[in-house]
A and B are shown apart, each in its own frame.
Chain A
Amino acid sequence: MTDDLSDRLTALADRAPARPLDVAALSRTARRRRQRRALVAAAPVAALLLVVLLAWTHAGGVTDRISQQAGPGPTTPVVPISDLQASVEAEVVRRDLLDGEPALSVTVDPPSVALGSEPATVRLGFSALTGREASFLPLTRWSAAIPVDGAGSGALGLSGVCGARWDDAGQREEGCVGAPLVVSTVEPGRPQTAVLQLYARVGDQQTKPGLYRAEVALDDEHLLRLVVGVRHGPFVEPTEPPTPDDEPPAGTAPIRIFLLTGEEDPCGGAGRFVERRVPATEAVATAALRKLFAGATAEEKAAGLSGFGHETAGLLRSVRIEDGTAYVDLVAALLPDSVGTSCGGTAFQVMVGETLLQFPTIERYVVALDGDPRAFVEVMQGGCEDPVEPGGPCDPAPFRPRD
């Protein structure tokens, strides 16, 4: 196979698009990066995080109900697009531009809630804060992380910027939709607005609940980044999220998950177990982690408890228990960035560890991202032995599918 494989890899590589290279632009980018490194060495540039969360409670309730309907197991129910609603949350990360001076301010107006095939709209206000002009001309690309498992697939269409979108027939369109807004310069005192529209689009007019993320890089160095998340779920009238005190349905069983008492110890040293009800199942560790990753209820938050956000509801790929070890496989694209920080990493380990180790059949656990435990170790800023020790924390063998 190997000779044949080499030929086929070469043929596949031949499909790499031959695009012109703007060496001058690369050089400028490299020069700015060298300058910034010098600045960073003198005074670290702090990243400013603006988070706009809209329809959060509502969306969380929908997500939680979906995960309850899904029950244990990897497959999420497919929902007809005509029965969808999508609430939008936007997160803008602005780093200082132009030699460390704050040059651009980005605000996110309240985004709408999309119903059915109507798009959700996010308005972005750009304004320059300094005497310099700040162009967002290089707003040329976007990418989407689309978690897919089980049946169905999903896609995000994005318009209002140069990028890609999908039309009603599911055909991809590329180009600069709304380009006049994009290929312009933000001048001091003349703020501008860009409009992003997000659609749920698939060829068979079906999509599935989950978190969809689109990233827009405003320049080649990713100095400014927009992350838009869209939650999908069956359209329902807004109601309060379910609480543990709800009437337990027949055929369900209680399990416990560990949440943090965040205000007392932001690094996750303290917390307590709370109860959830899940369909009666033998896969209690899987059910417990799914509930853990779905986040705290409104009542628990009001009581000072904290946990994962609703955007991690689909984080768990699988759990397999063997000889006292739980092998936990997660969806890399949904792992919160905060897990890579010391506080976030501690919080993750405390919540997952306490939740798993309550079960007498589990003595230890190993976490992988998309089947790769080394990836998780790297996120946690740890190292792997080399060569990888069989049975060690970086050994991917236990995460491989078994016949």
Chain B
Amino acid sequence: VGSDCEQFVSGQHAALSRAAFLLTGDAVAAQDLVQEALVRVLVQWRKVQRADVPEAYARRILLTTFLGGRRRAWHREQPQADPPDRAGTSPYEAVDDLDGLRRALLALPPRQRAAVVLRHYEDLSEAQTAELLGCSVGNVKALTSRGLAALRLAMGAPEGTTAR
């Protein structure tokens, strides 16, 4: 493992961190998730190198790390009506639309959340998403559809509530 892989890891860090933040909804958990994924990239560097699209392989590792780590820190965040770990003190934060979206995302089951992020943030096709999630295109449609429905419900719901 030499400088090529270290350059690759450095280059992927920002993009994976953004996706990880959407998947985990938490800065520290996202950092944990990305670090774990990047370590796996380094451990499996030869496989990553041989992949047609190494960036996609790294994204797959991030996703499988996320979906396979239900007992790990990035799955322990629980959506809360009044979370104690709000970092900001801005009086406007309570009505922050993006924070509402973050909470609504967190309330989705992990595979639904992953499907929504892959389809609507990563802009992947249904087939690409199905390959990453290891399921059928039909399953991706169902996951995405249910995820979007839950997001609509949560975002349209009264303040302080989250979809379950």
Interface residues of A (CB under 8 A from B): 1-2, 5-6, 8-19, 21, 23-24, 26-27, 29-31, 33-34, 37, 141, 143-148, 153-155, 164, 166, 170-172, 201-203, 215, 217, 220-221, 332-333, 337, 369-372, 374-375, 378-379, 386-388, 396, 400-401
Report if A401-B1 is in contact (Cβ < 8 Å); known contacts: A1-B152, A9-B120: no
Q: Chain A: which residue is nearest B121 at the CB level? A: A9
Note all chain A residues with C-beta closer than 8 A to B121.
6, 9-10, 13
Note all chain B residues with C-beta closer than 8 A to A217.
73
Q: Is B164 on the interface with A (CB-CB < 8 A)?
A: yes
A369 B70 Cβ-Cβ under 8 A: yes
Name the contact of B98 in the complex, choosing from A15, A34, A201, A221 (C-beta under 8 A). A15
Q: Is B60 on the interface with A (CB-CB < 8 A)?
A: no
Q: Chain B: which residue is nearest A376 at the CB level? A: B70
Name the contact of B76 in the complex, choosing from A13, A21, A333, A388 (C-beta under 8 A). A333
Name the contact of A12 in the complex, choosing from B22, B83, B109, B111 (C-beta under 8 A). B22
A9 B117 Cβ-Cβ under 8 A: yes
- How many residue pairs at the A-B interface have CB separations less than 8 Å? 159
Report if A378-B84 is in contact (Cβ < 8 Å); known contacts: A8-B101, A27-B42, A143-B29: no
Name the contact of B18 in the complex, choosing from A14, A379, A400 (C-beta under 8 A). A14
User: With the chains together, A215 CA to B76 CA distance in Å?
Assistant: 10
* Closest-CB distance, B82 to chain A (whole angstroms): 5
A12 B9 Cβ-Cβ under 8 A: no
* Closest-CB distance, A176 to chain B (whole angstroms): 15
User: With the chains together, A12 CA to B105 CA distance in Å?
Assistant: 11
7 A-B residue pairs with Cβ-Cβ distance under 8 Å, sorted by A, are: A8-B101, A9-B121, A12-B98, A21-B38, A371-B164, A372-B109, A375-B110
Note all chain A residues with C-beta closer than 8 A to B152.
1
* Closest-CB distance, B13 to chain A (whole angstroms): 5
User: With the chains together, A200 CA to B10 CA distance in Å?
Assistant: 39
User: With the chains together, A401 CA to B146 CA distance in Å?
Assistant: 12
A387 B42 Cβ-Cβ under 8 A: no
* Closest-CB distance, A35 to chain B (whole angstroms): 11
User: With the chains together, A15 CA to B88 CA distance in Å?
Assistant: 13
B110 A372 Cβ-Cβ under 8 A: yes
A387 B139 Cβ-Cβ under 8 A: yes
Q: Is B20 on the interface with A (CB-CB < 8 A)?
A: yes
Name the contact of B80 in the complex, choosing from A12, A13, A27, A148 (C-beta under 8 A). A148
Interface residues of B (CB under 8 A from A): 1, 6, 9-10, 13-14, 17-22, 27-32, 35, 38-39, 42-43, 70-71, 73, 75-87, 89, 97-98, 101-102, 105, 109-111, 116-117, 120-121, 123, 134-136, 138-139, 142, 146, 148, 151-152, 163-164
B35 A220 Cβ-Cβ under 8 A: yes
Q: Chain A: which residue is nearest B12 at the CB level? A: A21
A374 B111 Cβ-Cβ under 8 A: yes
Note all chain B residues with C-beta closer than 8 A to A16.
17-18, 20-22, 27, 30
User: With the chains together, A21 CA to B20 CA distance in Å?
Assistant: 15
- For the complex, would chain B's binding face be called helix, strand, loop or mixed by DSSP majority? helix
Note all chain A residues with C-beta closer than 8 A to B110.
372, 375
User: With the chains together, A145 CA to B22 CA distance in Å?
Assistant: 19
* Closest-CB distance, B136 to chain A (whole angstroms): 5
User: With the chains together, A226 CA to B15 CA distance in Å?
Assistant: 31
A396 B109 Cβ-Cβ under 8 A: yes
A143 B111 Cβ-Cβ under 8 A: no
Report if A26-B78 is in contact (Cβ < 8 Å); known contacts: A141-B28, A153-B84: no
Note all chain B residues with C-beta closer than 8 A to A148.
78-81
Note all chain A residues with C-beta closer than 8 A to B38.
21, 26
Q: Chain A: which residue is nearest B68 at the CB level? A: A378
Note all chain A residues with C-beta closer than 8 A to B123.
6
Report if A30-B73 is in contact (Cβ < 8 Å); known contacts: A14-B18, A143-B28, A387-B135: no
A332 B70 Cβ-Cβ under 8 A: yes
A26 B42 Cβ-Cβ under 8 A: yes
User: With the chains together, A202 CA to B109 CA distance in Å?
Assistant: 27
Note all chain B residues with C-beta closer than 8 A to A145.
76, 78
B101 A203 Cβ-Cβ under 8 A: no
Q: Chain A: which residue is nearest B32 at the CB level? A: A141
A30 B135 Cβ-Cβ under 8 A: no
Q: Chain B: which residue is nearest A164 at the CB level? A: B85
User: With the chains together, A143 CA to B28 CA distance in Å?
Assistant: 9
A21 B39 Cβ-Cβ under 8 A: no
- Which 9 pairs from chain A and chain B are nearest by CB? A155-B84, A30-B42, A16-B21, A13-B18, A9-B121, A372-B109, A143-B73, A145-B76, A387-B139
Note all chain B residues with C-beta closer than 8 A to A13.
18-19, 21-22, 121
* Closest-CB distance, A279 to chain B (whole angstroms): 25
Note all chain A residues with C-beta closer than 8 A to B6.
23-24, 27
User: With the chains together, A147 CA to B77 CA distance in Å?
Assistant: 9
Note all chain B residues with C-beta closer than 8 A to A146.
78, 80, 84
A5 B135 Cβ-Cβ under 8 A: no
User: With the chains together, A396 CA to B30 CA distance in Å?
Assistant: 26
